[in-house]
Structure 1
Amino acid sequence: MKKYDYILIGSGPAAYKMSNLLAGTTRKVLVIDGGEFGGTCPNYGCEPKIFLEGATRAVLQSQQLLGRGIKQAAQIDWHDLMTTKLNRFNPWPAETKAIIAKSHDVEDGYAHFVDEKTVVVNGHEYRSDHIIIATGQHPNHLDIPGDQWTHTSTDVLSLPHLPQHVTFIGAGYVAMELATVLGAAGAAVTLIDHSDRPLKAFPAKKAAVVKKAMEERGIEFLFNTGVQAVQQQDEGFIVQTDHGEVPTDYVVDASGRRPNIEQLALDKAGVQFDRGGVIVNDHLQTSNPHVYAIGDVVSRPQAKLTPVAEFEGQYLFDYLEGHSAAAIEYPTIGTAAFTFPEIAAAGVTEDDVRENSAYQVKSFDLHYASLAAGQNDQSGRLTLVFKDDLLVGASEVGDYAADDINNFLPVIGLRITGEQYRQAVITIYPALADKIASSLN
């Protein structure tokens, strides 16, 4: 049995961050992964998704400018786009594994615990006083008749041919972003969701703006609708719902994501978990004092995002290496859906404080600004939430909402007053400065 100072189960952003930091020490480290090295984000998540968004944005912005200086809208060549995407991303798992292997031992395979300090991979036993679970999440799979005909977001991100009609089950981040891409490429798109609105992580009125824009491009929404089965027919499929049938060529199960814990045999290590993932304390330690968890596999209220995972990897390295004994304290976290228009938020939103008089809410229509007018962005709306003269939250819908909200993160996180901001910063004009004018007064 080989012994290590650290065993990292997983190689996604959280584990990759920690393994890079440990590479600068003399610690003996083993990194185990049974999937693609690098995890979800660079292989079948945010990185390839944002790559496809580049062409998508160009097409949709050109459509938005027809008759306003643009004579012909751009079009997506799906085959060329996918070929370019695959050429870029297919080498990444091997490259990531090779980078890790320069400093640490690696093992291809799925690990499971046999006791509180020991895991087994491919029949080999490994032992450590510090085992870190960083296995991430995977797409949920609805247990319905015909579920063998459904696909995942992973499949869509490497889809060789564009179907004529795509039906998504779900209307969260994944479904809305991929529906935007496929719709821009020319597919007819239907989204089915059991709730009454899309993008429930964002303010309702701003999510409604995104929905309306997508509907105007021909994307169909069916809310308060449950999917009962998927049935194959001679040409395509039928999605059976409690409100009728939806003929389609391709079905994507985008009903959510689940933590990758099934194969770990956590009970053998005495590690507690729930439906959200592995339960940890404020030092990312599990119920087993020798086992920790970082990244999307952790059960926590904070958004499951790549930067949050990397933050946890940095924190755990500092804590276990004795650089800090403090409990983890999460900073202000920004999040966005790369639809068109985009939607983004950070901190407290207007929906959180609708009936709370301790907060002041200011909203701004952005389409009057010269920048938005030149881009014909008629959707832009920014909302800022203040408490005791401090900015505590921001949300926006618009063509560049993610970048705009990123500009507010330091103001929120550093607790800067409007006066301090004005004395310290003069922003580039006419960009965000043109949009928000004196909003921080």
Structure 2
Amino acid sequence: MKKYDEILIGSGPAAYKMSNLLAKTTHQVLVIEGFEFGGTCPNYGCEPKIFLEGAARTVLQSQQLLGKGISQPAKLDWQTLMQTKLERFNSWPDETRAIIKKSHDVEAGYAHFIDDKTVSVNGRQYQADHIIIATGQTPNILDIPGKEYLHTNYDLLSLKELPARVAVIGAGFVGLELATLVAAAGADVTMIVHSDRVLRGFTRGEDKALVDAMQKRGIKFVFNANTQKISQCKKELTVTTDQGDIKTDYILNAIGRHPNIEKLALDNTNIKYDRHGIKVDDHMMTSVEGVYAIGDVVSRKQPKLTPVAEFEGQYLFNYLTGKTTQQIAYPTIGQAAFTFPEVAKAGVNPDDVANDPQYRVKRIPLKYGSLYAGQNDQISTLTLVFKDQQLVGASEIGDYAADDINNFIPIIGLQIDSNEYRQKVMAIYPTLGDKVAGALL
């Protein structure tokens, strides 16, 4: 049985970060991957999504400016766009594997635990001083009659022919972003939402404004709907809900994700886990000494995002190599849905403190600024939350909400007060950054 210094189970952002850092050491490392090397983000998630969003945004902004200086809006060519996407991304798993293999041993297959200290893959058993679980998450699939007709983001992001009608079950980040994409390409889209709202982590006002904007573009929403079954008649699919039937040609299952632990055989170990993932302490160690977990597979309150996974990979490398003995401390984390308009946030949610006298909530419509008016962006609204004159939260809905909120994350995270900001920062005019100083008053 071969023994390593580290075994990395998974090769997504968290593990890939550690892999690259460990490559600069003399450690003997084994990387095990049962899915695509690189994980979901670069292959079926954030990277291809933002690549495709560039074309969709251009189309939607041109539509928004129709009659305001644009006489002919852009049209999205789905087949050409997807071919361009596939040419860029199809080689990434092999390239990622090759990069890892330059420095580490590699096993392509699913790992499972034999006991607390031993993992098996492809019939071979391995041990290590440190075993790091970084298997991420995988899509939830509705367990209903006709579930074989459901598709996930993995399927849609490689779909060469765009269906005329698309039904999206679920209205979280994935569902809303992909609905925005296919609708911009010309598909007739219906969103089937289990509850009465979308994106619960944002404010109700931002949720409503986003839904209103999507509805104005022809995207339909069915709220408080429970999907009961799916049936097919010839080439047409029917989604049966307790709110009625929806006829469609393609169904995107976007009801969330769960920790990818089924194949790990954790019941052969003393590793504790719950429905949110593997439980870890403040040093990312599981309930078994020497076994760690990082990335989206971890049960934690912080959002499951690529930068958070990479942060944990950096932290654990530092901890295991003696560069730190401190507990992990997460920074201020920004989060955005790349819909149109976008919604983005960081820090305290304004809705959570609306009735708390310790906080002051300030809402600033941005449509009067020349930059936003020139884009005919009538929705953009920035919301700031202050406590004792210190900015503690920011959120926005607007065409460039993600970039806008990035201006405020350092102020929240570094606890910079308004006077200090104005003395040390003069942003480019006339962007939102130039307005930050005034917004902090």
TM-score in terms of structure 2 length:
0.99
Aligned twin of 1:152: 152
Aligned partner of 1:125 in structure 2 is: 125
Moved over 3 A (4+): 433-437
Partner of 2:239: 239
1:108 corresponds to:
108
Q: Secondary structure at the match of 1:271?
A: coil
The alpha-carbon deviation at position 194 of structure 1 amounts to 1.1
Separation in 2, partners of 1:434, 1:195: 39
**Which residue of the partner structure matches residue 89 of structure 2?**
89
The answer on whether the counterparts of 2:422 and 2:437 sit within 8 Å (CA) in structure 1 is: no
Q: State the distance in 1 between where 2:434 and 2:373 align.
A: 11
Amino acid at match of 1:182: V
Q: Secondary structure at the match of 1:17?
A: helix
| 2:229 aligned counterpart, secondary structure | strand
The match for 2:403 is 403
Letter in 2 for 1:92: W
* Equivalent in the alignment of 2:188: 188
For residue 437 of structure 1, report the CA deviation from its aligned partner: 6.0
Question: How far 1:434 sits from its partner (Å)?
Answer: 5.2
Partner residue, 1:18: 18
CA contact (8 A) 1:364 1:436 kept: no
Distance in 1 (alpha carbons) for counterparts of 2:434 and 2:69 = 22
Structure 1 equivalent of residue 163 of structure 2 = 163
Listed one character per residue, the Cα deviations across residues 386-405 of structure 1 (whole Å, up to 9, x for unaligned) are 11111101000000000000
Match of 2:283 in 1: 283
CA distance in 2, matches of 1:221, 1:108: 42
Which residue matches 1:258? 258
Greater displacement, 424-433 / 183-192: 424-433
**Aligned equivalents of 1:38 and 1:252: distance in 2?**
23
**Could you tell me how far 1:202 is from its partner in structure 2?**
1.1
Deviations, residues 174-230 of structure 1 (Å, cap 9, x unaligned): 000000000000000000111100111211101111111100000000011110001
Q: Work out whether 1:209 is the aligned partner of 2:184.
A: no
Q: Return the alpha-carbon distance in structure 2 between the equivalents of residues 284 and 38 of structure 1.
A: 21
For residue 406 of structure 1, what is the amino acid of its counterpart?
N
In the alignment, which residue of structure 1 is the partner of 2:353?
353
Counterpart CA distance in 2 for 1:83 and 1:427 is: 39
Q: Secondary structure at the match of 1:314?
A: helix
Contact 1:336 1:343 in 2 (8 A): yes
What secondary structure sits across from 2:206 in the alignment?
helix
Counterpart CA distance in 1 for 2:323 and 2:437 is 42
Q: Is the contact between residue 116 and residue 290 of structure 1 (CA under 8 Å) also seen in structure 2? A: no
* Counterpart-to-counterpart distance in 1, 2:253 and 2:33: 25
Aligned 1:311-330 pairs, distance under 5 A: 311-330=311-330
3-state SS of 2:361 partner? strand
Q: In percent, how many aligned pairs have the same letter?
A: 64
SS in 2 for 1:263: helix
Query: 1:80-99 deviations in whole A, cap 9, x for unaligned?
Result: 00000000000000000000
Paired with 1:191 and 1:63, the residues of 2 have a C-alpha distance of 21
Amino acid at match of 1:88: R
Distance apart, 1:145 and its partner CA: 0.5
2:55 matched to which residue of 1? 55
Secondary structure of 2:73's counterpart equals coil
> Residue 361 of structure 1 contacts residue 386 of structure 1 at CA under 8 Å; is this kept in 2?
yes
Could you tell me which residue of structure 2 aligns to residue 341 of structure 1?
Answer: 341
Of residues 267-276 and 375-384 in structure 1, the stretch that sits farther from structure 2 once superposed is 267-276
- 2:363 match: secondary structure: strand
Task: Give per-residue Cα distances to partners, 1:213-250, cap 9 Å, x unaligned.
Answer: 10000000001111000111113100000011000000
1:116, distance to aligned residue in structure 2 (A): 1.0
- Residue aligning to 1:440: 440
User: 193-202 or 367-376, which moves further after superposition?
Assistant: 193-202
Give the whole-Å Cα distance in 1 for the aligned partners of 2:196 and 2:422: 41
How far off its partner does 1:129 sit?
A: 2.0
**Count of matched residue positions in the alignment of Structure 1 and Structure 2:** 441
**TM-score, structure 1 length as denominator?**
0.99
Q: How far does residue 10 in structure 1 lie from its aligned partner after superposition?
A: 0.1
Please give the alpha-carbon distance, in whole angstroms, between the structure 1 residues aligned to 2:87 and 2:338.
23
Residue ranges of structure 1 left out of the alignment (5+ in a row): none
Q: Which amino acid aligns with 1:11?
A: S
Query: Partners in 1 of 2:337 and 2:201 — Cα distance?
Result: 10
Residue 293 of structure 1 aligns with an amino acid whose one-letter code is A
Aligned counterpart, 2:137: 137
Question: What residue number does 1:230 align with?
Answer: 230
SS at match of 1:393: strand
Structure 1 partner of 2:299: 299
Whether contact under 8 Å (2:392, 2:412) holds in the other structure is: yes
- Distance in structure 2 (CA, Å) of the matches to 1:436 and 1:246: 45
